[in-house]
Amino acid sequence: MSRDGERVIELINELGSRVGNVLSDMVPPAAQVHLLNAQRELITALMLIYENRVAPEPVARRARRGRAARRTSRRDRKIPVE
């Protein structure tokens, strides 16, 4: 993971902990556990999106995608209309 990715993770974790500290007085403990799990899932999803956007696609996959031809079946052909 790049240094920028690590900074994003640190920032998200810091924001999450600050919000958690503010809400800890108002939110019951059972709800806190639920919110922490949701926060963890959200951070994971954001990091996957970030890595998918930032990380370049492997050269082998990029090359194959360009050469792949669409396979057609007999049903894909035009039907003559009289």
SS3 sequence of 12-69: HHHHHHHHHHHHCCCCCHHHHHHHHHHHHHHHHHHHHHHHHHHCCCCHHHHHHHHHCC
Give the separation between CA 46 and CA 56, rounded to whole angstroms.
17
What per-residue confidence (pLDDT) applies to 41?
A: 92
What per-residue confidence (pLDDT) applies to 60?
A: 63
What per-residue confidence (pLDDT) applies to 48?
A: 86
What per-residue confidence (pLDDT) applies to 73?
A: 66
- Residue pLDDT tens, the chain, 82 long: 567 778 888 888 888 788 778 777 788 888 888 988 998 898 888 888 888 887 766 666 655 555 555 666 666 777 778 7
Q: Is the separation of the CB atoms in 5 and 47 below 8 Å?
A: yes
Q: Is the separation of the CB atoms in 43 and 9 below 8 Å?
A: yes
